[in-house]
Amino acid sequence: MDSREQVEPRVVWAVVKSGIGPLLLAASRDGLVNVVFHATDAVRDKAVERLASRLGTEPVEAPGSPLLAEAIRQFEAYFAGERRDFDLPLDWSLISGFNREVLRELASGVPYGQVVGYGDLAGRVGQPGAAQAVGMAMGANPLPVVVPCHRVVESGGGIGGFGGGLETKRRLLALEGVLPEPLF
């Protein structure tokens, strides 16, 4: 084990301010591993506990960690309207199978300012009848905003569901110019 491994924990996290409220960002040596909405104390504590259980290591609060520095910078730029795409290494270890396949397609195939229907996304991964399964994959997304599940909407024009809440989804879509900014 080199000296860097002794200094840098396996998983680090920080809570950052954003245009949609506090976000918990967690990273491993492989990349950003988790983004959690509405990271109040109770939500943060539960998220850190869940990460410890799922990753087999105790995440360490380290807002100054080099593992988080670029992610924090890119989130700040995104919410300031200065960045449209995230260019970060991602640690996909919290998701697998069909869900991972769908999320990877979403991340690479639905750019800023565009939306896709659940059924359309299912078709893109070769499962045209799996719109509901795509919805489940969106709900299981460990990397929201970076893997833009807010861009997945109902085929009939409805906004669809969202793990961060519908107001958060509306605000993200407004930031990207898909919806108008709320009047109040």
> What value does the CA radius of gyration of the chain take, rounded to a whole number of Å?
16
Mean pLDDT, range 101-123, rounded to an integer: 96
Query: Quick one: average pLDDT of 146-165?
Result: 91
The model's pTM is 0.91
At residue 182, the pLDDT reads 65
Per-residue pLDDT at 172 exceeds 80: yes
Quick check: 104 pLDDT over 80?
Answer: yes
Nearest residue to 102 via CA among 75, 156, 138: 138
Q: What is the pLDDT of residues 133-155, one digit of tens each?
A: 999 999 999 999 999 999 999 98
| Residue 157: band (very low, low, confident or very high) from pLDDT cuts 50, 70, 90 | confident
106 is catalytic: no
- The pLDDT of 69-89, averaged and rounded, is 97
Burial bucket for residue 129 (CB in 10 Å: 0-12, 13-18, 19+): exposed
Q: What whole-number percentage of the chain has pLDDT above 70?
A: 93
Active-site position among 149, 153, 173, 175: 149
Query: What rounded mean pLDDT belongs to the chain?
Result: 93
- Mean of the pLDDT values across residues 94-112? 97
Q: What is the pLDDT of residue 8?
A: 64
Kindly state the average pLDDT of the residues 5-22: 86
The pLDDT of residue 9 is 75
Query: Which has more pLDDT, 183 or 112?
Result: 112
